[in-house]
Amino acid sequence: MIDYTRIQKDCFWDLYISKKDIDTILERDDMRKKKMLFEKILLNSTKLFTDLKIFDSEQLAWLLEDYNTPKFNQEYAFRRKNMAEVYFFNKPLLIDDLKWVA
């Protein structure tokens, strides 16, 4: 179940997006808008893994693969992207701070 109110509050504090707008983005094949929604969630969501589940697995894999970390807040964006890759697709953890030390 999508928590539209939290996504709107967390991720779209800088612009207005309705529940219908989010549903339309998810239903249609406009990858530019899907990327925008994905990036807003990736960088701003307080419940990252829960919110990324709004994308189907194939789309999420593509969005993560296609995402280029911006120069601004690069380390933060890289960490969140890598955590999502590990959580959803069992990719290698590249964040030393989060690795288990034996």
End-to-end Cα, the chain, rounded Å: 38
| One-letter amino acid of 15 | L
What per-residue confidence (pLDDT) applies to 99?
Answer: 87
Rounded distance between C-alpha atoms, residue 7 and residue 100, angstroms: 31
Q: What pLDDT sits at residue 90?
A: 96
pLDDT 10s digits, 18-63: 999 999 999 999 999 999 999 999 999 999 999 999 999 999 999 9
User: Which pLDDT band holds residue 101 (cuts at 50, 70, 90)?
Assistant: confident
Helices 31-44, 19-27: axis angle to 10 degrees equals: 120
pTM: 0.92
Confidence of residue 100 (pLDDT cuts 50, 70, 90): confident
How far is residue 84's CA from residue 82's CA, in Å, rounded to a whole number? 5
pLDDT of residue 30: 96
pLDDT (tens digit, 9 = 90+) per residue, 67-88? Answer: 999 999 999 999 999 999 999 9
